[in-house]
């Protein structure tokens, strides 16, 4: 008999555990702060057509002939500056968030529920985690990309990875995907409380800068809602904190290449604010659920140096929400809202164990 194109599960269940699952998805991270480990991670990330919207015939020679020869060593140096004894901050923080959410949801719902973590690039992959959840008997799956603001480059890419996985499953689970939560009241409150807690401990800077990850301007021109959603988050947070536009400003970081990205740029903004006489600047990054290279190295180190070199005294980075109670609680409420209408878990699970065939 020919091997099947589809992956399936066979045999009776011996583990009537979670029937409902939540898959958190974050960007990803190399497994070590070395050029050898960074190279395949960057190849997967920068090879995603959702991230770089150039024709392959044009982009592939640049990526493999230039970028992947030069950038891994530079990126590895940056990763080494933030790496901890536990490993990658993004991986460790995301795992702790998943654990906290699973505990919270099980307490709140009074039924078995499984929360798993996948990385869009690197490991554990979206496909591996969905297949594992299926082996555990999950028949209803909620996917939560850890990107508060939607962009085709981030959430859109997660949706692609989920779809690519489901089309290979013989019996895909019921599926729901959280598109974004940029204006969710509980999320805005969690952000505000985090900032206020920082102010209570360290005092207030003269201005608060919200730095979001950038994307090319042409993506927004083509219909990506990301820019508007970032500004909606900023507007709601400004109102919650009681700040006017002169006290809370918005910028965009992490641009690469020569084409225009969303502006104003963060590095130019911190230099400008220092040159205008601002001495103490607070920076928060509401587009990042968990601290990572872009927050810990790019903001808290690189942009701190840009600010002080331009005449400022102190740039204080306010950490991401990470696995704080505020984030766990706000995401638990969000998840349960999106699960409304799904029946409670059954007492037993039908599918389990053993894969069916899958062609190469």
Residue 208 phi/psi, 5° resolution? -115, 120
My answer on whether 168 and 111 are in the same domain is yes
pLDDT 10s digit of each residue in the chain, 360 long?
A: 556 678 776 544 444 544 899 999 999 999 999 999 999 999 999 999 999 999 999 999 999 999 999 999 999 999 999 999 999 999 999 999 999 999 999 999 887 789 999 999 999 999 999 999 999 999 999 999 999 999 999 999 999 999 999 999 999 999 999 999 999 999 999 999 999 999 999 999 999 999 999 999 999 999 999 999 999 999 999 999 999 999 999 999 999 889 999 999 999 999 999 999 999 999 999 999 999 999 999 999 999 999 999 999 999 999 999 999 999 999 999 999 999 998 875 443 344 433 333 433
CATH number at residue 212: 3.40.50.1400
β-pairing, 20-28 vs 140-145, is parallel
Residue 295 phi/psi, 5° resolution? -95, -50
Beta carbons of 359 and 3 less than 8 angstroms apart: yes
My answer on whether 306 and 197 are in the same domain is yes
d(CA 237, CA 209): 12
My answer on whether 161 and 204 are in the same domain is no
Q: Starting at the edge strand that comes first in sequence, how are the strands of the sheet with 314-318 ordered?
A: 248-253, 207-213, 280-284, 314-318
Give this prediction's pTM. Answer: 0.92
My answer on whether 163 and 60 are in the same domain is yes
My answer on whether 219 and 169 are in the same domain is no
Beta carbons of 23 and 133 less than 8 angstroms apart: yes
d(CA 360, CA 357): 10
My answer on whether 208 and 296 are in the same domain is yes
How many structural domains is the chain composed of?
Answer: 2
Residue 91, SS3 per DSSP? helix
Beta carbons of 162 and 197 less than 8 angstroms apart: no
Using only C-alpha atoms, the chain has a radius of gyration, in whole angstroms, of: 22
* Annotated binding residues: 213, 294
CA distances (Å), origin 270, targets 71, 113, 158, 316:
25, 44, 32, 12
Q: Which domain holds residue 289?
A: 185-318
d(CA 115, CA 243): 37
Secondary structure (DSSP) of 216-238: BHHHHHTT--HHHHHHHHHHHHH
Q: What is the distance, to the nearest Å, from the Cα of residue 211 to the centroid of all Cα atoms in its chain?
A: 15
* Annotated binding residues for Fe(2+): 213, 294
């Amino acid at each position: 008999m020919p091997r099947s194109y589809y992956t399936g599960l066979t045999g009776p269940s011996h583990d009537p555990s979670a029937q409902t699952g939540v898959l958190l998805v974050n960007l990803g991270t190399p497994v070590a702060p070395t050029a050898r480990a960074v190279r395949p991670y960057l190849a997967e990330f920068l090879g995603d057509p959702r991230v770089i919207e150039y024709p392959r015939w044009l982009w592939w020679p640049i990526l493999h002939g230039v970028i992947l020869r030069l950038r891994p060593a530079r990126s590895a140096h940056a990763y080494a500056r933030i790496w901890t004894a536990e490993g990658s901050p993004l991986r460790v923080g995301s795992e702790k968030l998943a654990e906290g959410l699973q505990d919270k949801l099980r307490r709140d719902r009074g039924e078995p529920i499984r929360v798993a973590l996948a990385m869009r690039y690197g490991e554990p992959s979206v496909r591996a985690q969905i297949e594992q959840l299926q082996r555990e008997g999950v028949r209803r799956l909620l996917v939560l990309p850890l990107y508060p603001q939607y962009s085709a480059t981030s959430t859109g890419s997660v949706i692609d990875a989920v779809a690519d996985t489901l089309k290979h499953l013989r019996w895909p689970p019921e599926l729901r995907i959280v598109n974004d939560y940029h204006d969710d009241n509980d999320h805005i409150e969690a952000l505000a409380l985090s900032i206020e807690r920082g102010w209570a401990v360290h005092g207030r800077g003269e201005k608060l800068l919200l730095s979001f990850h950038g994307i090319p301007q042409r993506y927004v021109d083509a219909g990506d809602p990301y820019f508007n959603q970032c500004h909606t988050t900023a507007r709601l947070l400004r109102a919650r904190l009681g700040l006017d536009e002169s006290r809370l400003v918005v910028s965009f970081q992490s641009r690469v290449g020569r084409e225009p990205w969303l502006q104003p740029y963060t590095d130019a903004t911190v230099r400008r604010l220092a040159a205008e006489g601002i001495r103490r600047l607070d920076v928060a990054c509401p587009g990042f659920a968990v601290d990572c290279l872009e927050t810990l190295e790019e903001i808290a180190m690189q942009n701190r140096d840009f600010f002080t070199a331009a005449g400022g005294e102190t740039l204080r980075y306010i950490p991401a929400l990470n696995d704080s109670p505020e984030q766990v609680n706000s995401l638990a409420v969000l998840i349960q809202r999106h699960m409304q209408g799904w029946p409670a878990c059954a007492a037993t699970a039908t599918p389990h164990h053993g894969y069916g065939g899958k062609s190469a």
